[in-house]
Amino acid sequence: MSILRLAFQNLVHRPLRNILTVIGLAVAIAVLVCLSAFGHGYQRALGAELDRMGLQMMLVPLGCPYDAAARVLKGRPLENSLPESALEAARRDPAVAIAAPLLMVALPRPDAGRADMWVGLDETALALKPWWRVSAGEKWFSNDDSVILGCDAAEIELRSPGELFFSPETGRKFRVAGVLERSGTSDDSLFFVPLRTAQQMFNQSNRLTAIAIRLRDPALLHEASVRLQRIPGAQVVTLTEMMGTFLNLVGMVRTLLFSIALVAITVSVLGVFNTLLTAVVERTNELAVMRAIGASRWQIVGLITTEALLLTGAGGIAGVLLALAAGHGIENLVKSFVPLAPDGTMMSPTAPILFQSVLAGVVVGVLAGLYPAWRAGRLQPAEALKAE
């Protein structure tokens, strides 16, 4: 009978105890996997999202610029607004290729129990959103009273291109020009109208929520931001700065979380230690007989270490499976806390992360098995059998 098989049978012999140990370890490993995968995925998704936008900076109203930029990117309303004079000033700047104004207003719909987000755009927006695809209808507004709906918005309002659409709160009638293809971003739930229309609808004439800016050459970023910062009533956020700030914030939270995950792993390793120690003490007689009929010290040490490996290996694999199964739920929980949660998935459990987590579990498990294995190897067969 091989050592591996013997070790396996020894574990199966005490199912309840070993299953509890495996559960403890699995939960701890699952937390570790989720945290590693999350941090990695967040950075990647955030980078990809900012890249896809093709803009280098934004002009936002006074107030916390990061908060403002994050709100605009995620389609949430802002408390402050910019004067429209800032747009002309930005367009006059030599380094600016495109300056796209944006007015974003939340329209509360108390009877429907939600708030609709209306966004006013002008033609420059098309240049900044090359990935905009309409699933039906026109790609741009035909007149001042036309609206383009995000796909979720179209579903809720039950409208398709060409149909009339009445907004009771503002008392305006629109014709649906087009419906956007599902993009998985916040665009899906928005109502797009021409900028002038939005300004009239919400009594915000000459006000803007933000101005998205693409430069002629990204290398001009620094000098352009110094010049644009002087525009009255506006401040500049460069997206790289913004990403750095958010990564810092998320990094801080992650360090805190990691330290607690470490606590969970330490506690579960103490459990492994206890289980193995008990297994050795209980089987003193059996191990002594094995020694008496010719097993060497090292074979006994090997047997207990193999048990430790099997136990922690099972824990690690169960933990990874648990993380994969629960990952989606955890992602939703985490998404509600981070300031600029990118659309799409943030959990990206790559093979190295999974492998490292299982390995970490096994390594600490083997360390926990050292003392029980040493104690088993030290057993004197004659004395142990006599005591029995």
Kindly list the residues in this chain that would bind another protein in the complex (CB under 8 A).
16-17, 20-21, 23-25, 27-28, 31, 62-66, 83, 229, 232-233, 235, 248-249, 252-253, 255-257, 259-261, 263-264, 266-268, 270-271, 273-275, 277-278, 281-282, 333-334, 336-337
Nearer to another protein, 31 or 147 (CB): 31
Nearer to another protein, 149 or 323 (CB): 323
Residue 83 CB, nearest distance to another protein (Å)? 8
Kindly state the smallest distance separating residue 271's Cβ from another protein, in Å. Answer: 4
Nearer to another protein, 125 or 334 (CB): 334
For the bound state, the minimum distance from the C-beta of residue 249 to another protein, rounded and expressed in Å, comes to: 7
Instruction: Give least dist CB 263 to another protein, A.
Output: 4
Q: For another protein, which is the closer residue by CB, 64 or 219? A: 64
> In the complex, what is the shortest distance from the CB of residue 222 to another protein, in angstroms, rounded to a whole number?
13
Q: How far is the CB of 18 from another protein (least distance, A)?
A: 9
Please state the closest distance from residue 158 (CB atom) to another protein, in A. Answer: 36
Question: Residue 159 — φ and ψ, nearest 5°?
Answer: -125, 145
Burial of 296 (0-12, 13-18, 19+ CB in 10 A): exposed
Closest approach, Cβ 233 to another protein, in A, equals 4
Residue closer to another protein, measured from CB, 296 or 332:
332
Nearer to another protein among residue 127 and residue 333 (C-beta)? 333
Between 180 and 236, CB nearer to another protein: 236
Q: Pick the closer one to another protein by CB: 153 or 346.
A: 346
